[in-house]
Amino acid sequence: MSVKHSLLALIYEKPRHGYELKTGFEDLVESMWPLNAGQVYTTLDRLERDELVASPGHDKKDRKLYTITDQGKEELWSWLKQPVSRSLLKDEFYFKYLCASHIDYEDKAHMIQMQKQTMVKDVLHLTHLKKEMNQSGNQTMKMLVEGALLHLEADIKWLDMIAGK
């Protein structure tokens, strides 16, 4: 995940200071990914150095404010438009399965079953998270959870398929 671009998006929304960016980021990800202040300020320094953000001054409490530059907007649009390539075979379990098959690992069935159990537990957690999203009304995050559930369902179907071989 690109912290740099998520900070650019938050600054595009409105001028913000460092602490506001930290809390804005945590709101964006429903507090599921804590971001330490150090990472925010290091990223801001780099964004300012690359002229993607600029500081028009300080607020009443003397906190440095940041605004997005035209160059920053271009960088943000370019990032949003760029399709994401996925390396489908980088999943670690795929490699485990590959190696296990290669050496005719005798406990492969157990390995598949344990993987399935872990994924089924993730389905339970994700559905619980989705219910929480229903209550909080965060439709965007709910869509991300739906996407993750669809991926898991496909993975579990695949595990059933290889278990039957």
Site string (58-97) toward another protein, x via CB under 8 A: ----------------------------------------
Residue 93: CB minimum distance to another protein, A:
14
Roughly what angle, to the nearest 10 degrees, separates helices 3-13 and 70-81?
120
Q: For residue 103, give every residue at least 6 positions away whose Cβ sits within 8 Å of its Cβ, in sequence order, or none.
A: none
Residue 34: CB minimum distance to another protein, A:
9
Site string (12-51) toward another protein, x via CB under 8 A: -----------------x--xx------------------
Q: Tell me which residues in 128-147 interact with another protein (CB under 8 A).
A: 128-129, 131, 134
Among 120, 143, 161, 162, binds another protein (CB under 8 A): 120
Exposure string for 58-78, b = 16+ CB within 10 A, e = fewer? eeeeeeebbebbeebeebbee
Long-range contacts of 33-37, Cβ-Cβ distance < 8 Å, separation of 24 or more: 33/1, 35/3
What number of residues does the chain have? 165
Q: Roughly how many angstroms between the first and final C-alpha of the chain, as a whole number?
A: 36
Whose Cβ is closer to another protein: residue 101's or residue 127's?
Answer: 127
Which residues of this protein are in contact with another protein, per CB under 8 A?
1, 29, 32-33, 113, 116-117, 120-129, 131, 134, 148-149, 152-153, 156
